[in-house]
Every structure is written in structure tokens, then in C-alpha cells.
Amino acid sequence: MSLQSFIDQAISPWMQEQGPDHDIVLSTRIRLARNFTDVPFPLKADDTKLQIVSNWLKEHFNHQSFLEYKNLEYFDMASLQQLEKQILVEKHLISPLLAERDKVSGVLLSKNEQVSIMVNEEDHIRLQLYLPGLQLERGLTEAFKIDDWLEAKIDYAFDQERGYLTSCPTNVGTGLRASVMMHLPALTLTGKVRKMLPAIHQLGLVVRGIYGEGSKAHGNVYQISNQVTLGRSEQDIIHDLHSVVKQLINYERKARQSLIEQSGIRLEDRIFRSYGTLKYSRVIESQEAAKCLSDLRLAIDLGYIQDLSTTAINELMILTQPGFLQQYTQEILTPEKRDVKRASIIRERLSIEDK
């Protein structure tokens, strides 16, 4: 298996499955932050020390398999082109921070792209596990299994009182960051999301855009995650996040029903205008494409459009990102040329669905 296998396939295999509450929850991610006990943390360590971590993971886990997570393969960030890194970010296989690291760093990726172990990012190890739909409890159980598998060969930095030690104080304790990616178009259209954000933050949760910290919620997609881990158990964190997400799901469904009842014809007009824009535009910017794709996903979920699959929408959400556009054309594109190519790819993909 090579890096090309990760790039050529727009959406990861697990994303083609439909999990619980898939009409609103796109995915669940469990991330565990861990560090070696006898090596300085990445923000303080020099390249020699970081190389110890990288070499250890290569030696013990490269081309290894665990349960259904087959053939983990190690990729050095230094050996990747900038475009390759950008594509891995767009597929959520690595963080923007890891892509920018100029020190010794890398990532272990499973063949099904469900497990991503970032190496020497902010911590020595950031284990990520992805599942479709809302599956927080299952995700935590599976992540613990992988964590135990790693810990059998790694001496983690752990304090009896504080728990797992990490670079960022907000991760000290469990080292757990659980997040759920949600599509909330009705709550956004009605302006209710803005009113809910303060209440969500008061519960110790944080709302971000599709690419995490510092990103915007393009396409009405929001990432909801816990903010603090110290002094709380993993089960408590998962329980609280699950409760809030379930409430948001209920609110979103009620908001969708309200839009149908009170603004049905306007909602249909918005949806089919977006459909027409995607099918016939010759130039389209990323933000407009995200908005129109969000409308199409909503239309599919509400039954307004029945001959289009959510898989096609998932593919287009990834394929229309800058990295994939340039990989597709095999050239570096200016923003203007990206807008032209984005429109072309969308038209081509939708025509395949029509056939």
C-alpha cells in the first residue's frame, strides 16, 4: 500500500457506511493524547529526541495490524510534498498543525483510514479513531483497545493524581478529545445555532468548524467536542457530549419540520436553486459550493431529491477542496482556475448520478 491509495480515493471506506442518526451526524471521532515518559514533549524536544519516538513507532507498529485495522503504514511528514499533506488534512487524516510541522513527525494510517496515529504533533502520539454517525461509546471502547495495544510497548507519561500528561493543559487527565461532526442547516437558517452556542460552551463543550480549531463552519457543518479532561472520567465526558448532541439532533429535526410547515415553498426554491447552481455553474467558489452541497444534503434527507445519494455529496465535499482539485489536474492552480475546475468536477459527478 502507498500514499497514493489514500489520495486517489476521495472519501475513506468507513465514510461510505451509514451510522446512527446519519441524517444529521456525519461522523464521530475519538482522539487520545499520549506521550513517552522519558522523552521531552514535542514543543520542547529537539530533532534527536523526536527521532527516538518516530523510530520506535516505525519499528514496532509499521505494517502491523490490530483487529480490523489492517496494515498500519508510517509516513514521514518530511518526505511528503505540500500538496500531499494538504490532501491528508482535507481527508481529516492529519491535523493542519501536523502538516505545518518542520520537525521530525509523521503519521501511522490504517488501510481503511479509520485509524490515524499522528506522531510528534503537539504530543508524541495523538491516536484518532473515526466512525460513521453517532457512535461515541463504541468509539471510546475501540480507541481504548488500540491504546492498550500501543501501551503494551510504550511507557506512557502518567501521574497518579493528574492522569496522562500532555503538552496542552486542557488535555491533561484522560487525554481524551471526543468530537462529533454535525450537519445543522435548519438551525443555521433559523438563526438558532447562534443562540445555542453560549449554552453549549457553558457545559464545557466547544463548537468549531469542519477542520477543528480556528476553522469556520462551511456548509453548515459543525464540530462539537469536549474542552476539558482533567478531573473527569472518560465515561463522564462521553455521556455529557452524547446528551448535548442528542438534544441538538432533536432541535435540528424540529427546525427542519418547522421550515417545511412554515416556509415549504421557499425551502424548495432554495434547494432547487442550489441544485441548479451545482449542475450548471462554470465557476464556483468553495464557500458557495459548500452552501449548495449543504442544501442538497438537506434535500436528500427530507426526501425532496430521491435520485441522488449522500455518498455523492460526501465525495464532492472532499473532491472540491483545493488539494484534491490540484491532485486531479496534476498541476498547481490559481484560485480562479480552482473555481473553474471545481464547477467542472461537480457537473461531472452529478451527471454520473443522473445516468
Residue 67 is classified by DSSP as T
CA end-to-end span of the chain = 32
Is 130 marked as binding a ligand?
A: no
Is 126 marked as binding a ligand?
A: yes
Is 110 marked as binding a ligand?
A: no
Is 210 marked as binding a ligand?
A: yes
Is 178 marked as binding a ligand?
A: yes
Is 28 marked as binding a ligand?
A: yes
Report helix angle 286-302 to 335-354, nearest 10: 20
Three-state secondary structure call for residue 351: helix
Quick one: cell of 158?
Answer: 502518567
Three-state secondary structure call for residue 186: helix
Separation of alpha carbons 116 and 113, rounded Å: 7
Separation of alpha carbons 91 and 308, rounded Å: 22
Is 54 marked as binding a ligand?
A: no
Separation of alpha carbons 117 and 103, rounded Å: 17
Q: Is 64 exposed, middle or buried (0-12, 13-18, 19+ CB in 10 A)?
A: middle
Is 342 marked as binding a ligand?
A: no
Nearest to 26 by CA among 191, 192, 199, 249: 249
Quick one: cell of 290?
Answer: 459548500
Is 208 marked as binding a ligand?
A: yes
Is 232 marked as binding a ligand?
A: no
Is 177 marked as binding a ligand?
A: yes
Is 179 marked as binding a ligand?
A: yes
Is 266 marked as binding a ligand?
A: no
- The amino acid that residue 103 corresponds to is K
C-beta of residue 344 within 8 angstroms of C-beta of residue 277: no
Is 211 marked as binding a ligand?
A: yes
Is 94 marked as binding a ligand?
A: no
Is 231 marked as binding a ligand?
A: no
Is 180 marked as binding a ligand?
A: yes
Is 133 marked as binding a ligand?
A: no
Sequence-distant (≥ 6) Cβ neighbours of residue 37 within 8 angstroms: 155, 156, 157, 158
Q: What are the residues facing 74 on neighbouring strands?
A: 108
- Extract the annotated binding site for ATP: 27-31, 92, 126, 177-181, 208-213
- Extract the annotated binding site: 27-31, 92, 126, 177-181, 208-213
